[in-house]
């Protein structure tokens, strides 16, 4: 069972060399265990907007690659899309929490995700000493998608058309595998394409979960702006199973925006991903500490 840490600090200059050696030796069993394994990381939230946390994230990804793991990054970009739409004077319209994406909005989404945000992430990883390559779902025919049908929450017989928002039909991971084998770190924008070559904006959590499944990843890490899944008393639940999650949804402990995130996590866990971690992206180097130590910086969901 992982234990929740009491203090957070990214500065290691105060740590004596002997203690540093001890930390490294504690990481060794985890490095051995996960060597050669794929780790899919959903990158979003504060970790994506705070410059210091951006650097920490990039360093973690590069270090994981250096010690023999195979990280694949899937990024979001909601706030950045919202920002540009605002500058263009286009008001975002939402139905049941989902952005209505007409053709003009889709052009902005592609420009932000596949352009600005993706290149920022690639640049950060490269600056930290890695070799990142940006991809969208179009590259290598990776993410085939279809229009997402949104059922009305009050009248299930009614469906809403929210434009070019996509549901995944299939993922062909061969381009990702080819890059991994060549020592590159793939950075994936959550954009898919339809049968008539139209573009679709897809939820990044969903893309990360599905990609982790098809790559048979050892772990799926989801960086969020919260500590993880909390119980009714606000205490961190460090480990969960699908059965326990059903109970927590039923009694209202898990609600709102956490439900789709958890649904993707459970699907991945049930489909062969060994563990899914919902991690507090506001903690410096949380990802590294979650993977390479017995400290819990979030909630781990196991398949059973």
78 assigned binding-site residue: yes
Asked whether residue 3 is assigned to any structural domain, the reply reads no
Residues 6 or more apart from 64 whose CB is under 8 A from it? 39, 71, 287, 288, 291
How far is Cα 287 from Cα 27, in angstroms, rounded to an integer?
13
Determine, yes or no, domain membership for 203.
yes
Higher per-residue pLDDT: 185 or 16: 185
144 labelled as ligand-binding? no
Does some domain include residue 158?
A: yes
Strands of the chain (E only): list them: 38-43, 70-75, 94-95, 98-99, 132-136, 143-151, 159-171, 185-189, 191-193, 199-201, 219-224, 239-240, 275-280, 298-302
Residue with token string 């540093």? 20
In sequence order, the β-bridge partners of residue 193 are: 144, 199
101 within a domain of the structure (yes/no): yes
Residue 50 clears pLDDT 60, i.e. is over it: yes
Order of strands across the sheet that contains 70-75: 132-136, 185-189, 70-75, 38-43, 219-224, 275-280, 298-302, 239-240
The residue segments making up the domain with residue 56 are: 36-302
Phi-psi region of 77 (alpha: psi -120 to 50; beta: other; left: phi over 0): left
Q: How far apart are CA 209 and CA 40, in angstroms?
A: 8
Looking at residue 11, what is its pLDDT?
52
Residue 215 makes CB contacts below 8 A (sequence gap 6+) with 38, 40, 72, 173, 176, 177
Q: Report the C-alpha gap between 33 and 195 in whole angstroms.
A: 41
51 burial via Cβ count (<10 Å: 0-12, 13-18, 19+): exposed
| Span 106-150, pLDDT tens digits | 999 999 999 999 999 999 999 999 999 999 999 999 999 999 988
Token pair 């893309």: residue:
207
Domain harbouring 116, CATH code: 3.40.1160.10
- What total of structural domains would you count in the chain? 1
pLDDT in tens, 173-222: 999 999 988 899 999 999 999 999 999 999 999 999 999 999 999 999 99
Question: Would 21 be classed as within a structural domain?
Answer: no
pTM of structure = 0.89
Q: Are 126 and 161 in contact (CB under 8 A)?
A: no
Higher pLDDT, 301 or 5: 301
- pLDDT tens digits, residue range 146-164? 999 888 888 888 898 999 9
List Cα–Cα distances, 206 to 26, 222, 285, in angstroms: 33, 11, 24
Q: Is 201 annotated as a binding residue?
A: yes
Res. 44: pLDDT tops 60: yes
Asked if the structure places residue 19 within a domain, the reply is no
Tokens of 284: 């410096």
Q: What is the pLDDT of residues 216-274, one digit of tens each?
A: 999 999 998 888 888 888 888 888 888 888 888 888 888 776 777 788 888 888 888 98
Q: Is 235 among the domain residues?
A: yes
Instruction: Return the residue matching tokens 């008539």.
Output: 196
CA torsion 21-287-41-68 (nearest 10°) is 0
């Amino acid at each position: 069972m992982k234990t929740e840490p009491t203090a957070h600090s990214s500065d290691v200059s105060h740590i004596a060399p002997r203690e540093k050696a001890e930390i490294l030796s504690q990481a060794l069993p985890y490095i051995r265990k996960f060597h050669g394994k794929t780790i899919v990381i959903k990158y979003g939230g504060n970790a994506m907007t705070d410059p210091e946390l951006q650097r920490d994230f990039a360093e973690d990804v590069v270090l994981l690659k250096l010690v023999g793991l195979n990280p694949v990054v899937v990024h979001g970009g909601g706030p950045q899309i919202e920002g540009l739409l605002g500058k263009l004077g286009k008001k975002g319209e939402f139905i049941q929490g989902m952005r209505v994406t007409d053709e003009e909005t889709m052009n902005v989404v592609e420009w932000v995700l596949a352009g600005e945000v993706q290149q920022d992430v690639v640049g950060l990883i490269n600056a930290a000493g890695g070799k990142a390559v940006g991809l969208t779902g179009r590259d290598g025919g990776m993410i085939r998608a279809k229009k997402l049908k949104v059922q009305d929450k009050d009248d299930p017989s009614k469906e809403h058309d929210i434009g070019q928002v996509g549901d995944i039909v299939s993922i062909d991971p061969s381009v990702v595998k080819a890059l991994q084998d060549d020592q590159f770190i793939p950075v994936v924008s959550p954009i898919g394409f339809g049968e008539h070559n139209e573009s679709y904006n897809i939820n990044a959590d969903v893309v990360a979960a599905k990609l982790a499944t098809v790559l048979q990843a050892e772990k799926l890490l989801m960086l969020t702006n919260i500590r993880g899944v909390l119980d009714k008393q606000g205490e961190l639940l460090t480990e969960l199973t699908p059965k326990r999650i059903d109970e927590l949804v039923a009694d209202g402990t898990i609600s709102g925006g956490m439900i789709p995130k958890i649904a993707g996590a459970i699907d991945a866990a049930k489909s062969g991903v060994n563990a899914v971690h919902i991690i507090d992206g506001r903690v410096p180097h949380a990802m590294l500490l979650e993977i390479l130590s017995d400290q819990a910086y979030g909630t781990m969901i196991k398949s059973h």
